Amino acid sequence: MGRFLLKRLFQTVIILIIISLMAFALIHIIPGDPVYAMLGSDITPEYHDQVYESMGLNLPLVQQYFHWIGNFVQGKMGYSYHFKMDVLQLVQRRLPVTVILGISSAILSVVLGLLFGIITAVRRGKPIDSILTVLANIGIATPIFWLAVMLVLVFSIKLRWLPSWGFTMPWVDFGKSMKQMLMPTICMSVGGIASYTRQTRSSMLEVIGQDYIRTARSKGLKEGRIIMGHAVKNALIPILTLIGMTLRNCIGGSAIIERVFNIAGMGSVMVEALGNRDYITLQSGIIFLSLITCLCNLLVDIAYAYADPRIRLE
Amino acid sequence: MKKLAKALALLLAAVMLLSLCACGGKTASASTASDKTDSSAPAKTDAPKADAATTAPGKTETGTSVPADPDAVKRGGILKLAILVTPNQSGFPISTGTDQNVLATTAIESLGRYDENGQIYGFLAKEIITKPEVPAIILELQEGVKYHDGYDFNAKSVCETYDILLENGREANFANVEKYEATGEYEVTITLKQWRTDAVETLCITCGKMFSPKAYRDHDLEWMYTNIVGTGPFVQTEFTIGEKVTFKRNDNYWIEGQPYLDGVEWIVCADQTAAVNMLKTGDVNLIVYPSMQNYKTLLDAGFTRYGVDSCANIAGDLGMFFASGKEGQAVSDLKVRQAICHAIDHEALCNAFTEGLGVVTNQLGVPGTKENNPDVKGYPFDKEKAKALLKEAGYGEGECEVTLTFTPAFENVFVAVQNMLEEVGIKVIIDETDSIGDKLVVGGKDPYVSICWWSAPTSVSAWFRYFSEHPTTMVGDALDLKAAGIIDCYDKCMTAPTEADQKAAMMELARLCVDEYCLYCPFYATLSYYIGDDTIHDSDFGMRGNTQWTPETTWLG
């Protein structure tokens, strides 16, 4: 297990180096001048050059890259000229919002998805199976932004039950936080719930058809125990991959939801940094999100190894 | 199976009904006020009507803020405004946009303000005395005013603020200033190198926003970016970039009894839809410059427009200027420029893209302003004439090629322009850019037919800003501006000692730039507009210039 972990960690470092190079190169290819984006085009050329140099943008690109990555490794993520604060400070402020939203939607996706998947598999061919399967198909096909706008129209504007924007940390005001998080979390988890339902159903149906389940039944075990004790456990293995992907997507792909619900998270930071040519924030943000993705993948791999001993042996 | 089909049908019907409910009808929170413009609400009774402070010698009247009906004023409440761009600095030392200026006005006051005709009157400078014959400007300041940090506002502090601006990239604004000095405790005398008609605007509005010099000395520029310390009716309490900027009532405000509100909260809203939803749910009172489409939708839903249909309040003009950095380019040819102008249907563009807030214009001076020359013929929409002019210039069908540069915000307009040009046989290469600023800088080197933004024609300087030293390079080889007499004419506009002289020069300049040499092709101007609920009163939003409002008189009710 130790060797397995070391190997995966080494791979993670290589992936992060490649991503940092790609991110740096792509961001600098984007046309536009960060100084003009920051200060407008009314400034004098002299002042432009002065600020340009103070941002280190006059240095050769290779030097800029090593300067940035060197500092990043030491924990100095640089200064955001758009947000007027250290990027680390910015990430500390904004990332928890995105992570909380991501984790809550991932939990909702997993819990409901697994539940519906098990129900549809166990009640195969019954009305509940058909209803949930149709709903899952609708869930997969529903665009997130459309759902978000519809939810706001119904629950915020028409019924006035839920706030249409903002985010409050649960420990600051739990009630308000739950109200604000409900719609974004639903939007972010609908696709996940649908995918889990379908994946769990397929996986469960495959397992339920196995000889050892038939044996368990012939031994007279109760159906509930067969499903929960034998079928679900084995059906979960392919679902683990999906869990890793869900968490990654929720955290890395929250930009749309954050904008529609006006939530100040990492997604909106990245979009704004891109629009304002805030290179340092963009680069560091990409590395941070890549790091989270790699960690999620690593956790899934470890979970996989625990769930399936064959992987450990390999 | 039948039961299942019924259940599914019922479910789908419920979802569809819910969607229909959500999409249709007037919102519950929609204003009950007239859906017409609220031009009467934010009115000021004592607005001074100074005689052309920017041009004529003499005194301006003092502007003090009094609400339209003082007895009707209700005190208290927090004004909440949605701002669609992220303000990432206080506007000091360089303001980066309309929205940031509007926000900073909550706490920062300027030496002068615009009246309803776009003329400047004294505010923190209770009198602005202009002496073109010296040439000099004398500022008589309000007494008993303090900055939010307790520092006294007086002649010394105004000079200190000017010093700080000079230290931080604003030299160009002071290029015409010989010296400025405190000639009394509350009197500043600014001696100019030569009399310029834009001097008052530059020194009392552009550089006239009074930030506390003590705050700058005690901290640094970075601190100043997110800390607005002025003399205004509200004191900043929070400035979180990308989230919100909040202000509380200034209890020591220099105008007795004001402000009426307890506070002002600016909520950053990067997404238009989110801002619209926030207005509909009552989470904000007003949206600062939403998209035209959202403005129309909200107006139709019963919300109130804040602004007046006065050409002194232009949010922005849209058009093209012709820039050719290389000799022999298509746009260097006068006939080609004229053909391009004839090919564009200004009326159609205005109708399609301004939701009723547009004013078609054939020159920079929008009809209805003193800068407009009614004798300018311009280039009416005429496709056949455009084709004939191209032929005269030696270009057959599809032989004339131009590059069209614009920002994504105006993509729809310029795609329409592209179609119009292609209809007369002009090949158009699209060059969409995020930053026109970059293009402006290189405009002298590369051949462009390019988008041109020019701001409110509230002053001569704004009107002619595209003919100052920097923009001249954009016209490039399209014309030798000096030989054409344009530079001389522009200088006369800017230095004329009397209003009559200036007017004559302005009229001639408009004729030269449009009819004679066809240097630009304006499409339309857009009137100032803000949209919100009907609870905001005496705010002056959209009434005088596109950034000015009067937070001290604003009340909710």
- Would A288 be classed as within a structural domain? no
Interchain CB contact of A98 with B (< 8 Å): no
Q: A250-266, pLDDT tens digit by residue? A: 777 788 899 999 999 99
Query: What pLDDT, on a 0 to 100 scale, did the predictor assign at position B30?
Result: 32
Can you name the CATH fold of B70-310+529-556?
A: D-Maltodextrin-Binding Protein; domain 2 (3.40.190)
pLDDT at B499 (0 to 100): 80
Residue B172: its chain A contacts at CB < 8 A?
44
pLDDT averaged over every residue in chain A:
87
- Both tokens of A185, joined, read 């979390």
* Alpha carbon of B241: minimum distance to chain A alpha carbons (Å): 6
Residue B211's pLDDT is 94
Cα(A105)–Cα(A102) distance, rounded to whole angstroms?
Answer: 5
Contacts of B18 in chain A (CB under 8 A): 154
Residue B474: per-residue pLDDT: 55
pLDDT higher than threshold 60 for residue B149: yes
Encode B282-341 in three state secondary structure.
Answer: CCCCEEECCCHHHHHHHHHCCCEEECCCCCCCEEEEEEEEEEECCCCCHHHCHHHHHHHH
Tell whether A245 is covered by a domain: yes
Q: Chain A, 115-174: which have a CB under 8 Å from a chain B CB?
A: 127, 130-131, 134, 149-150, 152-154, 156-158, 160, 163-165
Q: Which of A47, A50, A152 sits opposite B277 (nearest CB)?
A: A152
Topology classification of domain B314-527: Dipeptide-binding Protein; domain 3 (3.10.105)
If one counts every other C-beta atom within 10 angstroms of the C-beta of residue B4, the result is: 15
Of B4, B29, B94, the CB nearest to A40: B94
Q: What is the pLDDT of residue B455?
A: 46
pLDDT(B224) > 80 = yes
Tell me what the mean pLDDT of segment A300-313 comes to. Answer: 75
Long-range contacts of A254-259 (CB under 8 A, 24+ apart): A254/A98, A254/A101, A254/A102, A254/A188, A256/A144, A256/A145, A256/A148, A257/A101, A257/A144, A257/A148, A257/A184, A257/A187, A257/A188, A258/A98, A258/A101, A258/A184, A259/B270, A259/B271, A259/B274
The ipTM value here is 0.81
Strands B125-131 and B112-114, how do they pair?
unpaired
Q: For residue B273, give the nearest of A33, A83, A260 by CB distance.
A: A260
User: In which residue are the tokens 């360089």 written?
Assistant: B94
Show Cβ contacts of residue B446 under 8 Å, excluding neighbours closer than 6 positions. Answer: B325, B326
A-chain residues near B281 (CB < 8 A): 156-157, 160, 163-164
pLDDT tens for residues A63-77?
A: 989 988 888 888 888
Residues A42, B281: C-beta atoms closer than 8 Å:
no
Cβ of A157 within 8 Å of Cβ of B29? The answer is: yes
Distance from CA of A134 to the nearest CA of B (A): 9
**Are A153 and B23 an interchain contact pair (Cβ–Cβ within 8 Å)?**
yes
Tally DSSP H helices, then E strands, for chain A: 15, 2
Are A259 and B271 inside 8 Å of each other by CB?
yes
> Is A314 part of any domain?
no
Q: Which residues of B145-160 are buried (b: 16+ CB within 10 A; e: fewer)?
A: bbbbeebebbbbbbbb
CA distance linking residue B398 with residue A49, whole number of Å:
41
A 205-224: CB under 8 A from B: none
pLDDT at B286: 96
Does B436 sit within 8 Å of A156, measured CB to CB?
no
Identify the pLDDT of residue A237. 80
- State which residue of chain B sits closest to A161, comparing Cα positions: B281
Residue of B nearest to A49 (CA): B169
pLDDT at residue B372, rounded to an integer: 85
What are the pLDDT digits (tens) for B402-461? 888 777 778 888 899 999 999 999 998 887 765 555 444 434 445 455 555 554 444 555
pLDDT interval class at B401 (50, 70, 90):
confident
The kind and range of the H/E element at A297 are helix A279-307
For residue B453, the cross-strand partners are B318
Domain count, chain A: 1
CB pairs under 8 A between A and B: 128
Taking CB atoms and an 8 Å cutoff, what residues of chain A touch B441? 41, 45
Cβ-based neighbours of B442, under 8 Å, separated by 6 or more: B325
Per-residue pLDDT tens over the stretch A235-246: 888 788 788 778
- Return the CATH number at A235: 1.10.3720.10
* Cα separation, B57 vs B134, whole angstroms: 11
**Is A261's CB within 8 Å of B274's CB?**
yes
Look at residues A51, A100, A60, A59 and name the one whose alpha carbon lies nearest to residue A79: A51
Q: What is the pLDDT of residue B441?
A: 42
State whether B242 and A262 contact (CB < 8 Å).
Answer: no
Give CA–CA dist B334/B394, Å, rounded.
Answer: 12
pTM of the predicted model, to two decimals? 0.81
Residues of chain B with CATH 3.10.105.10: 314-527
| pLDDT above 60 for B37 | no
- The residue among B18, B88, B174 with the most chain A CBs within 10 A of its CB, best to mutate, is B88
Q: Please tell me which residue of chain A has the smallest CA distance to B241.
A: A83
pLDDT at B488 over 80: yes
A52 Cβ under 8 Å from any chain B Cβ: no
CB contact under 8 A, B169 and A44: yes
Tens-digit pLDDT profile for residues A45-56: 777 788 788 888
Tell me the H-state helices in A55-126: 61-73, 87-122
Q: What is the domain range of residue A190?
A: 97-276
